[in-house]
A and B are shown apart, each in its own frame.
Chain A
């Protein structure tokens, strides 16, 4: 397993054109779903209204150079290292899922478009990255689902209780898990391969088609919100928060890390 490109093997029964069309349709669903979600929830409207308000209330203008530096900080801290999440466990689970998903999606696209049939041999690194990415998503995602979800950890709800907010994580986990099982069965040449292929496609379609109802688009919104937060801090409007204490008296040593979940 993870040595051969599962999509090239599949080309024996499904034409590469069909697979490529499916990937394009999924990409269009992501774009369309995100645009619809933005319009429907008016999040862009809210974002820009808030942006203007913060600009007007700001004590100073943030210049172009500083904006660029804030954008770089946002990418480095909030996006690439999930700095907004406050506990190490949530952060690690998030990073595993995020980087796993990115590796998994990118290698899928490269394999489907670049090496669609066994006629063009796939470099071994691609199926390996695909498998590792999938396993990372499973590690981070199942950890999150069973132990870290806030209503499980903080409110003690059953870990099998499903609400609308779970569409994203559940369809992601289903898609990746079923994809890995399908690839494993295919490599072993066992029966049931096409059943798991069908289930894999259903879960993947749900993942990409459910964007208006799921958390999928946080990948696009969260960086924008994190950037705005940094700009608000820099221009002095600070979301109405008090200014940081300048030279406070020392009232004792800094406390140790709280032990939250």
Chain B
């Protein structure tokens, strides 16, 4: 369900523009309010919905399966660490959900720059960064160089 902006609530702060990973939240040049320039390209990640301090962004279902009349609203409460969703169906039914903003404490994830730079040997290895320890396993099965070409004609 791509997003859209209630222009009367938006104050043009640009948070949604800043956060949208597909770069489709833009600022209208006449009214300086945000809008989704390309709903078809929306990832539906709802980063913008959750980040909007004015609660100006709603989600809209595609008209083939959710014709007009429904609404999806989100309320983010940072102090409480929750996001509440209110889904209203066309027939008036309502569903409410509360979910955690995240399940690990803030600041508990190391930033990439906190890790030591990989060695030259690590660059040549077949494992990705922090494998295998990040997968919580001792060792990943890997092909040795002499077996790599086996079976290749």
Contacts and interface: CB of A to CB of B under 8 A. Distances in A.
B55 A239 contact: yes
A261 B13 CA distance: 9
A248 B80 contact: yes
Contacts of A250: 81
A242 B104 contact: no
A244 B84 contact: yes
- Centre residue among A242, A250, A252, A256 by max chain B CB count within 10 A: A242
B interface: dominant SS: loop
Contacts of A188: none
Contact of A245 (B14, B71, B80, B107): B80
Contacts of B30: 163-165
Contacts, number: 116
B37 to A, nearest CB: 11
Contacts of B100: 249, 251-252
A150 B77 CA distance: 24
Interface residues of B, number: 44
B137 to A, nearest CB: 27
A150 B9 contact: no
Q: Interface residues of A: mostly helix, strand, loop or mixed?
A: loop
A86 B15 contact: yes
B60 to A, nearest CB: 13
Contact of A260 (B8, B14, B71, B75): B14
A260 B29 CA distance: 21
Interface residues of A, number: 35
A39 interface: no
B48 interface: no
Contact of A242 (B14, B18, B84): B84
Nearest to A252: B105
B61 to A, nearest CB: 15
Given A151-B32, A242-B85, A252-B105, A86 B13 contact: yes
A84 interface: yes
Given A86-B15, A90-B13, A153-B14, A252 B86 contact: no
A146 interface: no
Contacts of A251: 81-82, 100-103
Interface in B66-124: 71, 73-75, 77-82, 84-86, 88, 96, 98, 100-108
A255 interface: yes
22 contacts: A85-B13, A90-B13, A150-B17, A155-B14, A155-B17, A163-B30, A165-B31, A239-B55, A242-B74, A243-B84, A244-B75, A244-B84, A245-B77, A245-B82, A252-B100, A252-B102, A253-B81, A253-B106, A254-B106, A256-B107, A258-B15, A258-B51
